């Protein structure tokens, strides 16, 4: 395999969506300034190490050895067609999807339909741009490791008393020191006192090793800053798209996203905080797209299909002026594709599942464990609060109404409020972005599906 340097695509300046994401992700930069923040940083390294060593059974759906093999496969990112994530559609629908949407080599892939390809491409490009904007920003306040960020971006850190390289400084590996990286925010494989490394096979069935996806040749992350997790941003973004396109599998796809993010900890590439930041970034971006926010739509985006996680992109562009319309077109085409190939209704084929997401109780428990990864409260005054999602982040409701259109936005936001996760976490500073960090889409989707089924005169499907 050729050596791929996993560096974010350089940006001349941060866009308005980029700045919104940076502002939302920024509380991590101020953690060193309070006792609660310092405790959270210590817990972040400890929890990351526990998961990486295999010491947290609640954070896996399979026996440890099998889960590690899935983590190795997931190191290759299939953002051109979401095929690695599509097993969340179930053993029946997932197999049908993956039989057509394939990667035959790292640069060659197919899709089930052009409309699905365009939707995935545009959505992932938007979310990835927000995630990539954070990489060097939180490492050394640059756009690419050397060029300074805009004044608007720089003020984000100044306003909250934030600092760069918070992980490197907290874990004894500041940028440029032995064992660290060049830019800052060294990764777990550089800061953990010990790392479990193992052999297996990669996405293409080739003999591989976990270190191949940390130090090369599969992916070289040695000088790639840690926060937030780009893989997790992709995993949640494209899993969420598939969840909305196939709402019968919404909860399972969200579980798959959580598993994908957790695999970044298992492999040694990311901290728990990186994964939580990537999740919030994805949910925030997708909600704004679903709301047809003009700051997020109407642009020509490069197809984000890449050979590695964050660098080389194809030259083809995709433009989406009306995101809900693009979503409807993709849903119609994917529904027809799945129905024709499964020989029955999508709902019936979705229920025919013998895969690892077949157990609703196991899915719920797993997702609950990933909600905070057990990290402690940073904002005690918010720990017992209930965030009014409709007031703080009104567009969040589209994450449910897009899949369950019989719900209105007020009802959807009420469900998100009722099901939200614990308060006071490191991103829950009272901001819009903090509201996204608390969303529990697994629980929310279960309530939304039950309400929608009742209105359609059907018995609610199993969660």
**What pLDDT score does 315 carry?**
41
pLDDT digits (tens, 9 = 90+) for 271-304: 999 999 999 999 999 999 999 999 999 877 665 5
> Is the pLDDT assigned to residue 120 strictly greater than 50?
yes
Residues whose CB falls within 8 Å of the CB of residue 197, separated by 6 or more in sequence, listed in order:
209, 210, 211, 268
Element (H, E) at 208: strand 207-209
* Among the ranges given (2-16, 74-88, 92-106), the one the predictor scored with the smallest mean pLDDT: 2-16
**What pLDDT score does 436 carry?**
98
Secondary structure (3-state) at 408: coil
CA distances 15 to 10, 21, 325, 339, Å, are 13, 10, 24, 40
**What pLDDT score does 319 carry?**
84
Look at 8 and 383; give whichever has higher pLDDT: 383
**What pLDDT score does 285 carry?**
98
**What pLDDT score does 14 carry?**
83
C-alpha count within 13 angstroms, C-beta hemisphere, residue 309: 30
Cα–Cα dist 270/190, whole Å:
10
Q: Name the average pLDDT for the chain.
A: 92
pLDDT digits (tens, 9 = 90+) for 339-375: 999 999 999 999 999 999 999 999 999 999 999 999 9
Phi, psi dihedral angles at 5 (to 5 degrees)? -85, 115
**What pLDDT score does 302 carry?**
63
pLDDT digits (tens, 9 = 90+) for 197-256: 999 999 999 999 999 999 999 999 999 999 999 999 999 999 999 999 999 999 999 999
Look at 311 and 434; give whichever has higher pLDDT: 434
Counting residues of the chain whose pLDDT is more than 90, the rounded percentage is 88
Per-residue pLDDT band at 316 (split at 50, 70, 90)? low
> Is the pLDDT assigned to residue 459 strictly greater than 60?
no
Look at 94 and 462; give whichever has higher pLDDT: 94
Strands (E), 274-393: 300-302, 317-319
pLDDT digits (tens, 9 = 90+) for 392-405: 999 999 999 999 99
Per-residue pLDDT band at 13 (split at 50, 70, 90)? low
**What pLDDT score does 463 carry?**
41
Cα–Cα dist 430/165, whole Å:
24
> Is the pLDDT assigned to residue 437 strictly greater than 70?
yes
**What pLDDT score does 310 carry?**
35
**What pLDDT score does 303 carry?**
55
Cα–Cα dist 413/241, whole Å:
19
CA distances 77 to 60, 263, 322, 368, 376, Å, are 20, 12, 27, 25, 31
pLDDT digits (tens, 9 = 90+) for 15-38: 999 999 999 999 999 999 999 999
């Amino acid at each position: 395999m050729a050596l791929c340097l996993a560096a974010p695509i350089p940006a001349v300046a941060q866009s308005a969506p980029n700045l919104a994401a940076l502002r939302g992700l920024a509380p991590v930069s101020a953690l060193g300034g309070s006792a609660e923040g310092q405790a959270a940083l210590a817990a972040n390294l400890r929890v990351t190490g526990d998961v990486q060593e295999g010491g947290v059974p609640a954070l896996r759906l399979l026996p440890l050895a099998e889960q590690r093999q899935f983590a190795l496969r997931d190191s290759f990112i299939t953002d051109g067609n979401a095929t690695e994530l599509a097993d969340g559609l179930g053993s029946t629908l997932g197999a049908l999807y993956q039989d057509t949407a394939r990667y035959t080599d790292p640069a060659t892939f197919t899709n089930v339909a052009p409309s699905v390809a365009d939707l995935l491409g545009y959505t992932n490009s938007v979310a990835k741009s927000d995630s990539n904007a954070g990489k060097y920003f939180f490492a050394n306040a640059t756009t690419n490791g050397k060029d300074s960020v805009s004044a608007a971006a720089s003020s984000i850190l100044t306003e909250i008393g934030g600092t760069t390289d918070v992980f490197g400084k907290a874990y004894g590996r500041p940028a440029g020191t032995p064992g660290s990286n060049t830019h800052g925010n060294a990764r777990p494989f550089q800061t953990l006192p010990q790392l479990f490394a193992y052999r297996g096979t990669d996405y293409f069935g080739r003999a591989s090793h976990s270190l191949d996806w940390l130090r090369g040749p599969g992916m070289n992350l040695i000088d790639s800053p840690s926060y937030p997790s780009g893989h997790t941003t992709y995993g949640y973004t494209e899993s969420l798209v598939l969840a909305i396109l196939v709402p019968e599998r919404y909860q399972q796809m969200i579980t798959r996203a959580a598993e994908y993010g957790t695999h970044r900890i298992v492999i040694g590439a990311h901290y728990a905080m990186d994964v939580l930041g990537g999740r919030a970034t994805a949910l925030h971006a997708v909600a704004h797209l679903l709301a047809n926010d003009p700051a997020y739509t109407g642009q020509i985006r490069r197809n984000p299909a890449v050979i590695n996680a964050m660098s080389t992109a194809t030259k083809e562009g995709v433009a989406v002026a009306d995101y809900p319309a693009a979503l409807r077109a993709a849903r119609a085409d994917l529904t027809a594709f799945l129905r024709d190939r499964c020989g029955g209704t999508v709902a019936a084929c979705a229920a025919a599942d013998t895969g690892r997401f077949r157990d609703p109780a196991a899915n719920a428990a797993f997702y609950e464990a990933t909600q905070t990864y057990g990290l402690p409260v940073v904002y005690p005054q918010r720990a017992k609060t209930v965030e009014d999602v409709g007031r703080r982040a009104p567009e969040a409701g589209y994450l449910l109404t897009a899949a369950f259109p019989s719900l209105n936005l007020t009802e959807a936001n009420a469900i998100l409020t009722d099901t939200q996760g614990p308060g006071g976490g490191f991103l829950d500073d009272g901001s819009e972005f903090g509201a996204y960090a608390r969303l529990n889409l697994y629980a929310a989707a279960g309530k939304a599906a039950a309400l929608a089924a009742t209105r359609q005169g059907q018995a609610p499907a199993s969660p």
